[in-house]
Chains A and B, each alone.
Chain A
Amino acid sequence: MSQELLTDEIKQQLGGVGPVEIVVGIPSYNNARTIGRVVQAAQVGLLKYFPERRALIVNSDGGSKDGTSQAVEQANIDSQQVLLVRHALYPVHRLTTPYHGIPGKGSAFRTIFRIAEEVQATACAVVDSDLRSITPEWIDLLLRPVLDLEFDYVAPYYKRHKYDGTITNSIIYPLTSALYGRRVRQPIGGEFGMSARVARHYLTRDVWNTEVAGYGIDIWMTTTAIAEGFKVCQSYLGAKIHDAKDPGADLSTMLVQVVGSVFRLMEDYVAVWPKVAASEAVPLFGFPFEVGLEPVPVNVARMHDSFRQGCSDLESIYRAFVPPQRLAELNACAALADDAFVLPDELWSNLIYDFALAYHRRTLDRGHLVKSLTPLYLGWVASFAGQTAYETGSQVEDRIEHLCQVYEQLKPRLIQEWGIGAGEKRPES
């Protein structure tokens, strides 16, 4: 099936390049504004840190109409200015290819993995094309643990603004840590390093026509790597500053793809996560330095309104899977004044488990279920923004770690109600 991904023209181009050791993939869709700098950073990173290795930069594009491909072609570096200590033995090749399949980041990744397989690469890194804070060091930090320390999967670790990555902070990080027992702080970060073994493994899985083809790809890759026992680590990359992800995509669609993927993975790995009792830290490489971050303005009042409207208008939907007592707690929160509004961690974690259980039991259409989480999620963001308005980055991190602990404490209830036993889907491997 993966054979069809590459056209004859691309195969011909790859034949001209020959075998390479490192592939750096950059998925893109209308990122002309930022991709040039990302390509330059990747190129400098490869020349500076891996001068003795053959490398290829692959831009897998989803049919951009803003000149993204031209920006990639024009992104050349001035070797005089870069000041390389060692001269590179080989040039860094570049390739731009459209991807096939369902439009989305996952389909772009699939093409990159297929190219890595075709050129027999030993390590592969992927970086988002909307990055504004990428430096050549990111390439080293993402690939070095794979090439020198035999890690299979390198997840990023960044300093982000407290209101950046709120789905990660409220659901994905705490839930993934509680379920699989490995604390990967940015499981859907967007930048990853991986061994050829993992990339090949991803290609064998039949998931490319699901949410994984879209925003679900990041969490799917991370969860698969953890749950299937690959060696996982994190690399500190500094600040993550990037453009907003696909402004056209609405929040509820994003939730369906990301949170829906986590819930679906719970079914795939039902033989794994119930056995995990506690979480542990994952090795972290790099030097964690302090960075300045761009402010992220938030409209808390509008999020309060969304939460209240959701509690009132969607109550008939929630009643199908949220216990009455919890529903009463939710309504009590909705009745609070804006300045006193707090959504307790216990209530939030229990709600996420209720949604996961309803997803598993197919209590209602899965798309409807996850989309109906949107106002509650905005309520969490409003509560979080209110509580952390004057907190420092480390205080916010402590708060998120506390949320992780609550998820872990409540996990036995999830296991008990999941009803593991007959008829459960097991992992393919």
Chain B
Amino acid sequence: MRQFWEWSIQGPLKELAQEALQTLPGLIATVILVALGFAVGWLAKQVVYRLLRAMRFDRLCDRLGISAIIEGLGLARSSSYLAGQGVEGIFVITALLAGLNALPSNISRNLVERFFAYLPHVFAALGVLVLGTLISRFLGRSVLIAAVNAHIPSAKLFGGLTRFFVLSLTVVAALDELGISRTTIIVAFAILFGGVVTAAAIAFGLGARDLASEVLRTQFQPPPKQETDDSLRHV
């Protein structure tokens, strides 16, 4: 009976205790690292937020159009606050990864390794998104102003389409960088874009046949100069 007790009950309990004792330092280290990460992250957020506010970072973002993008995304926060939150997030994620790495488990270590291997793609995708958004805004505005100054009635539509086209390309490029369903996205984009162009062409050809012929006619045969045209000399 005593042998049974020692072999079946005490033995496993001792092993469990030994394993727990082996795991415990890692677990404690994980808890400490995560707690530290949250604390330092919160502190860093406060410092970055106040520093950026003092440096008029929000005004810079206003000028670059970044604030408008943030507003458009429905984030009712200032750019400096979001930057602070971003820094806090980096600290927290770093602490979580360090905590996972501190655990004596191959699965957690593998996860950390894979995360670091994937990180450059995330940054590249973010870079593509930011750059693409800025370019789409700039080009959209260029087209809008040029179209208004050329008295084109659908100026807003052309400006919007330019932005949409550049943004779509940007999203596809970013997702491609992240390796998310690469083929599906490219095929979906091609179908969507091809569909839009075909639909527009059919709609223009059928629904606005007269307008289409008028556009082509004026394109290749400019109308004679009207007598009412002004000959203003601006300077």
A-to-B contact residues, CB < 8 Å: 163-168, 188, 190, 215, 218, 242, 244-245, 250-252, 254, 258, 296-299, 302-303, 305-306, 309-310, 313-314, 317, 361-365, 368, 371-372, 374-375, 381
Contact = CB atoms under 8 A, between A and B. Distances in A.
Contacts of B149: 250-252, 306, 371, 374-375
Nearest to B148: A313
A302 B151 contact: yes
B114 interface: no
Interface in B51-66: 62-63, 65
A290 to B, nearest CB: 21
Contacts of A374: 145, 148-149
B65 A215 contact: no
B157 to A, nearest CB: 10
Contacts of A306: 148-149, 151
Interface string B137-177: 01001101111110101011000000000000000000000
Contacts of A188: 235
A163 B235 contact: no
Given A297-B229, A314-B145, A364-B141, 6 more contacts: A165-B234, A166-B234, A363-B62, A364-B63, A368-B145, A371-B146
Given A297-B229, A299-B229, A309-B151, A371 B235 contact: no
B235 A258 contact: yes
- Interface size of B as a range: 20 to 34
Which has the most chain A C-beta neighbours within 10 Å: B228, B229, B231?
B231
Given A309-B151, A362-B63, A364-B63, A371 B232 contact: no
5 contacts: A251-B149, A296-B232, A299-B228, A368-B142, A374-B145
B148 A375 contact: yes
A307 B41 CA distance: 52
B235 A254 contact: yes
B217 to A, nearest CB: 21
A364 to B, nearest CB: 7
B145 A364 contact: no
A299 B146 CA distance: 20
B233 interface: yes
B151 A317 contact: no
Given A309-B151, A309-B155, A364-B65, A371 B229 contact: no
Shortest 9 CB-CB distances between A and B: which pairs? A298-B230, A299-B230, A167-B234, A374-B149, A313-B155, A252-B149, A164-B233, A371-B145, A313-B148
Given A306-B151, A364-B63, A364-B65, A317 B141 contact: yes
Interface of B: 62-63, 65, 138, 141-142, 144-149, 151, 153, 155-156, 227-235
A254 B148 contact: no
Contacts of A296: 230-233
Contacts of B141: 317, 364-365, 368
B158 to A, nearest CB: 10
Which has the most chain A C-beta neighbours within 10 Å: B65, B142, B230, B234?
B234
A380 B142 CA distance: 23
B230 A313 contact: no
Which has the most chain A C-beta neighbours within 10 Å: B156, B230, B233?
B233
A305 B228 CA distance: 15
Contacts of A252: 145-146, 149
A368 to B, nearest CB: 5
B151 A381 contact: no
A158 to B, nearest CB: 12
Nearest to A295: B231
B142 to A, nearest CB: 7
Contacts of A362: 63
Contacts of A361: 63
A254 B227 CA distance: 24
Contacts of A166: 232-234
Contacts of A368: 141-142, 145
A358 to B, nearest CB: 10
Contact of A310 (B62, B65, B146, B148): B148
A381 B231 CA distance: 13
Contacts of A245: 233-235
A310 B234 CA distance: 19
Contact of A244 (B144, B153, B227, B231): B231
Contacts of A164: 232-233
B148 A314 contact: yes
A325 B233 CA distance: 32
B144 A313 contact: yes
B235 A381 contact: no
Nearest to B150: A250
Given A305-B151, A306-B151, A375-B149, A165 B231 contact: no
Contacts of A298: 230, 232
Contacts of B138: 365
Contacts of B147: 313
B232 A242 contact: no
